[in-house]
Amino acid sequence: MYENPLSCTAKPNFVEILHCTVNAFNAPLWDVLIWMLVGIGLFFTVISGFAQFRLFGQSIKTMLGSRSNDNEADGISGFQAFVTGLASRVGVGNVAGVAIAIGIGGAGAVFWMWLIALIGMCSALAESSLAQLFKVRDEHTNRFRGGPAYYIEQGLGQKWLGVVFAIALIVCFGFVYQSIQSNSIALAIQSAAGCVGENDACQADWQIYKHVVGAVLVVITAPIIFGGITRVAKIAETFVPVMALFYLLVALYIVGVNIDKIPSVISLIFTKAFTFEAAGGGLFGSMVSVAMMQGIKRGLYSNEAGQGSAPNAAAAANVKHPVEQGVIQMLGVFVDTLIVCSCTAFVILLAVMPENAADLSGVQLTQAALESHVGAWGQYFLAIVLFMFAYSTIIGNYAYAESNMQFLKNNAFLLTLFRMAVLGFVYFGAVTKVAVVWDMGDLTMGVMAFINLIAIVLLSGYVFTLVKDYNAQLKAGVAKPVFDINKYPKLAQKVRSDIWK
């Protein structure tokens, strides 16, 4: 089982020193960040008029109606941006992340996943709308790009902070998150091969095989990331619905045959959510339970609401109103956590776990749960699905990082070096320990979220203006609102591009 925190009296090799250093920064950061995520999510829920409920039907209608792109030369469609974001959201977090949250925080962690997703839907609306408002045209391709680095620079006038955020995102999505995906793929293959527990001979062989897995992942990832964001969007549009459907069908089958047990599982989730065991020290840390900490951490990793990552895909879309893509990305948070993560949680909580459950890490726990429901083929099925989830997430993560590399320096040679470094971290993740990559992920996504949350609060006046304009047009009977920035002269002065004029 994944264990955290690490004992820092371990052997002083490089990986152990790195891990201890990461955890030393993680604790104080997350003691504060937990409350920022909750408070700012509630803030945007109020100023958007509870958009996650009021505009939920509109978000579905908008998403389904955005498959076509009026001008493909300008960028990807709203639907393609949605599935590119979903490619990064629906993945390892839904399978391995949920298992880790339950393994450490208990069933109550699921409740906090649900809560942070519900209020985070409005944070996603805010950040994605801002990304659309402040997007720019790429000088080489004429396509759109944007994200927090862009709205921090233009909206707040703080170029340096935009650079800091861009670097944080590049490290998180370009490097660390890629390691998490490849690590989970390797673990799933290890479990499907039966190389867990007390099988010493197989464990020894696995120390060699995991390097083969890492090399294979590098080989099959390279052609995709060198193809650029447009190819990323098209591949994601094909893969994501198919892989999610297969996984959901199996999970729903398990829920269906155990329908009589669902009320007791839901009762367990709510009961354990408020069973208090402090997750940290200090004033803020002592107020957070282990269940709350794990649920919100793994929920944020999975749905990314407020983290500042999904806006990079949202900005690439060719839409008529910034809030149009905001409501689409809001729907992505709902699908990711309230549907896909919930399915994994029920699969685990309804299972009779094997005796060697303590030896399992992350996705291996979900594989064991699935096997208890459907038989041995569940191990292989989930290994295949997890591979598709993680592989598509690697693609989506790269798309985010590439956009921010272009923000820093749009240089073909540097971009090539960056792509090679990404492949190096794909390999690193496959051969290292699960706890190392997940704790590194917590730190890097925490830094991103901290910067982004402050930025979107400072820019909340613009969010309010955009949502108000969008709502007014819907009330006036406009089927597809169109944003005219000329109606807002002060806002027009802040936006660098002439896209909305």
Residue at 501 is within a domain? no
Query: Token pair for residue 418?
Result: 């960056």
Tell me the chain's radius of gyration from C-alpha atoms: 22
Separation of first and last alpha carbons in the chain? 55
* Distance (Å, whole) CA 271 – CA 88: 31
Res 282 pLDDT > 60 = no
Joined tokens for residue 288? 């957070």
The pLDDT score that the predictor gives to residue 292 is: 84
DSSP string, 308-337: TSHHHHHHTB--SSHHHHHHHHHHHHIIII
What is the extent of the structural domain holding 68? 5-493
For residue 156, what are its two tokens? 């707040």
In a domain, 66, yes or no: yes
Burial of 148 per CB tally in 10 Å (0-12, 13-18, 19+):
buried
Q: Does residue 498 form part of some domain?
A: no
How far apart CA 165 and CA 146 sit, in angstroms, is 12
Residue 112 placed within a domain: yes
pLDDT at 455 over 70: yes
Peptide bond into 263 cis (omega under 30): no
Percent of the chain past pLDDT 90, that is, above it, reads: 31
pLDDT the model gives residue 432: 85
pLDDT top residue among 206 and 494: 494
Residue 5 has pLDDT above 60, yes or no: no
- Residue 500 lies inside a defined structural domain of this protein: no
**Cα–Cα separations (whole angstroms), residue 28 to 19, 21, 89, 162, 257:** 15, 12, 26, 23, 44
Mean pLDDT of all residues in 139-147:
79
25: nearest Cα among 425, 449, 446: 446
- pLDDT digit string, tens, across residues 377-386: 888 888 888 8
The pLDDT score that the predictor gives to residue 379 is 84
92 belongs to a structural domain? yes
Whether residue 227 lies inside any domain: the answer is: yes
499 is a domain residue: no
pLDDT at 87: 59
pLDDT of residue 232: 59
Number of domains in the chain: 1
Assign residue 14 the CATH number of its domain.
1.20.1740.10
